[in-house]
Structure 1
Amino acid sequence: MSFELLTQLEAKVATTLDSLEILRMEMDELKEENVALKNEKLAWETRLGQLLGKFSELEPSTATTATETKDQDQDDEQNEEGNEQYQEDDLQENDLKESDLQEDDLLDLDSIN
């Protein structure tokens, strides 16, 4: 083996060691980043759990309010339908009275003639 080959081998080993050291530093940085992301994820999960807890506390009263609103809407619709029917009945009754009056007027006219 010549001196030249040993020098080339030494250079390759040095390059490999440098690359290995760089990869180790990158790996350490990624591990730190991974820990930070896990902590952040845990914090978000905690916040989300708290929010869901608040929503579940509100849910029964919201459901009651929604049911009451729905019942009130149904009552309003029924009242409107009843009012419309009453108005229709009233109009029909007025029409009948008018037609009776017109017949009475015609009979009075016939009796005069």
Structure 2
Amino acid sequence: MSFEVLEQLEAKVQTAVDTIALLQMEVEELKEQKEQLASEANELRSNREELEQANQRMRDEHGAWQERIRGLLGKMDEVE
């Protein structure tokens, strides 16, 4: 009987070892995914910052054009 108990214990230990190995592989995969997602997040942040800067430049340029147009319209009013 004790031999059967030992065999059952050995089977359970082997199952536990296999499960641990699979979990370790899963942990490694999750770490890789985490690194990839962190890299993508940094890239997206960088792209967002670039877009915000371009947007601000365009707003500034738009404001400058509006001022120039107002100035020209003011001169036209003076001529009339």
The answer for the alignment partner of 2:15 in structure 1 is: 15
What is the TM-score when the length of structure 1 is the normalising length? 0.55
Q: Are 2:63 and 1:55 equivalent residues in the alignment?
A: no
Name the SS of the counterpart of 1:12 in structure 2.
helix
Give 1:59 shift: 1.1
The answer for the alignment partner of 1:45 in structure 2 is: 45
Give 1:60 shift: 2.0
What CA distance in whole angstroms lies between the structure 1 residues aligned with 2:8 and 2:51? 64
Give 1:63 shift: 3.6
What CA distance in whole angstroms lies between the structure 2 residues aligned with 1:61 and 1:32? 43
Looking at CA atoms only, which structure, 1 or 2, has the larger radius of gyration?
1
Identity %: 33
Q: Which runs of 4+ in 1 moved over 3 A?
A: 63-69
What is the TM-score when the length of structure 2 is the normalising length? 0.76
Count of residues paired in the alignment:
70
